[in-house]
A and B are shown apart, each in its own frame.
Chain A
Amino acid sequence: MNGAKTIEIAVVGHTNTGKTSLLRTLSRDTRFGEVSDRPATTRDVRGVLLLADGEPVVALYDTPGLEDAMGVSALLAEQHADAADPVAAVEVFLAGDHGNGRYEQEAKVLRQMLRSDAALYVVDAREPVRAKHREELRLLAACGKPLLPVLNFVASGEADAGTWRAQLARLGLHVLAEFDTVVYDARAERSVFERLASLLEDRRADFERLQASREREREALIDAACRAVAELLVDAAGARRHGALDADSESLHEQLRDAIRGAEQRCVDTLLGLFRFELDAYIPPALPLQQGRWQLDAFDPQTLRHFGIRTGSAAAAGGAAGLAVDAAVGGMSLGAAALLGAGIGAGWSALRSFGQPWLDRLRGEQRIALEEPTLALLAARQCLLLRALLRRGHASQDRVHTDTPQGWPSEALRQAVLRCRAHPEWSRLNGSADGSVPAPVLRHLVASVRALLN
């Protein structure tokens, strides 16, 4: 804390403009206070401390909405006109009975203003500028504290930020911030703290420390979120289920589908948990999983390519030659030809990649894995969800909606995920496998996901 006390900021404004919402979004706490589209939802003054690396820096106070500033102004003009200055008049008003208790709510706001170092005046930018707003600003200015107007709901089509800027300038308020509490924008948040720092210049270092800590934390969260998505994709790509050749394949498919659904839900829970949204905010629709595929059926070109790369790097060009022959005869003699062509080193790779299905068949087992379109769908949906969460304010009360995903979000991600298909040992969904992905593979996948967020 550099020995200084916390910076106290009152959050004030007309009723139902989103003051509590602002506190929710700034504190990333969906449970702070009560939010509704009605007047006088907040009737007490509640505070929340913003911490930088565990130390308190800024205290924000949520106040009841101003509803009748004109009435208070009339009362001040009528009863306290002889006060030495506007602040003295407000103090006399606060010491009195607040117009027989009629202006209790306004009194709380003014009292908190006097206690604070500065105030954020929250404006619903969808509303036109009216006399009551001007009256409120005059009343708040009478408290003698720096005031920063914050235009809320600017992302809405109804918002008219330009008119608000012009009108606020006419009242002498040239510094203001635009911050939508429902549609989150990290840059807008930074500008709120920057503007506050310019109003409270001697506390600039504290604001910068707070902002730096918050940005670090958000970066860490985004990293972790990308990793959660990447790990889901590795798990799904390598997921296998096997049973007897003559067993009911539908029940095998169902097992695989259940495993994938469970993994996707865990990933969604993790994303929501990381960004601290309520866990019921997003429910993925049932996966339109395609029939899990027989690995023994037509060898997938992707897996083939993977196989070719591996034998090429492991041992010999002979392996590739063997492969070409195999491709010509429809993959039927693949394992054997590659063995002959490449020798033991490549042969081992061949056995690992393709011997298993043959072994399974000899043992009388069938083995199923996910189709590529299903993987594409999983990838696209998680990326969309992540993007939606990054743009979601903690005051938002709607459920998260994502668009219908259209195929792979990017070619880079597709390549990275398809590489993982030949590695059931990387997946955590196969029971015995330990699910440890080589670090470079995971890093590449995470980077591919991260690239989609910009």
Chain B
Amino acid sequence: MLPVAILAREKKIPNLILPAANAAEAAVVEGVNVFPVSSLTDVIDLLNSSLLGVVHREPFRVDTQQLLGELQHFLVALLRCALSRLRSARLKLPLRVGTTF
């Protein structure tokens, strides 16, 4: 869904209609309003309610900052893992396999 959302943003198409299960993936792309739908009648309602080009429904949003925060957490954990391995190697400590941090 990501390529479709990027294409919509490039081609200046403001709205994107996707299945509800796939909306989160496309909503990562900023600048496109993603509208998750669950059935054909849902789409017809959405289109009929947007007579003058204004959609009367809240677009689906994803908190990209939170996703980046999770990535940052992962990188910090990786760094701590590498440092602890380095320290145990320098102090000739036996490698603690299976420890968690």
Partners in one complex: no
Chain B interface residues (CB < 8 Å from chain A): none
Residues of A within 8 A of B (CB): none
